[in-house]
Amino acid sequence: MSSKEKVRVKIPRYDIPAIKLEYVLLDADVLLPHEEIVTERLNDIVRNIREHNALDMPLIVAPIPGSSKYLIVDGHHRWAALIKLGCRKIPSVIVNYFDPRIKVFTWYPAFSGEPELLLSRLSGLNVKTCGLSIDSVNDEDLRNKAFLLFDRSSRCVSIEGDVEVQRRVLRILDELAVKDLISLAWYGLLSDASEDLRRNEIDCVLVRRAFSKSEIMEYVRSGGVYPPKTTRHLLPFTPIKEYIKLEVLCT
């Protein structure tokens, strides 16, 4: 993969039905994001909404226990785009977040480029080698670790820490990608990343533990916002596109 390519995302394929969903209009202020907004993605959504003079589909949200707020499960950039356009009414499908049919996973960042480009920038962090294999790593191995880094030589490097350490590592990856020093990719399945690592299509994979639904709810309720692409939610449905006119949302 050339360092000149844009960030690549490898999304798992699922057979999920597309259905029309009933939505309600919620005030923008009662919706809480659980991930940071990516400016480039936000600008793309704003352009799309302006082009159609409409939002293409509602958000998926869930009540936050013990509060009057709602967690944005899916649709962070649509929410931010509507606010940027001066809209206060957000079309939202309300779901039970703890429905077992709603799954939460994570994304695995990976890159082509020298591992030391990242590791050399982690001064002040607790970084050490480990003897784990990418194909056998489990949640217990990932406790209290921001990431485990695996490279093509089968080396394992542990980057100890919490969400803030993850945020620092991801910002470094973004900076390296912007400078064309690495080519960044995101994987929805660790098995796909592991296979591409063996095939020399990438040079490094960073593995982390997926947060539980309870952890996500508590983190957001306490005012926390995760780095982009921390969570990957799998819903039992896909909303059918139905363009909701801005005149309904921005009055």
Residues tagged active-site: 35
- Give 52's contacts (C-beta < 8 A, 6+ positions apart): 243
Contact predicate 191/211, CB 8 Å: no
Report helix, strand or coil for 190: helix
- DSSP letters along 98-135, please? T-TTSEEE--EEEEES-HHHHHTT-TTS-EEEE---TT
Cβ neighbours, 10 Å, residue 174: 17
What whole-number distance in Å separates Cα of residue 169 and Cα of residue 162? 11
Ranges of H-type helices in 120-240: 163-178, 190-198, 213-221
What whole-number distance in Å separates Cα of residue 125 and Cα of residue 119? 10
Cβ neighbours, 10 Å, residue 203: 20
How far from 194 is each of 39, 45, 91, 108, 141, CA to CA, in Å? Answer: 30, 32, 39, 10, 17
What whole-number distance in Å separates Cα of residue 59 and Cα of residue 33? 11
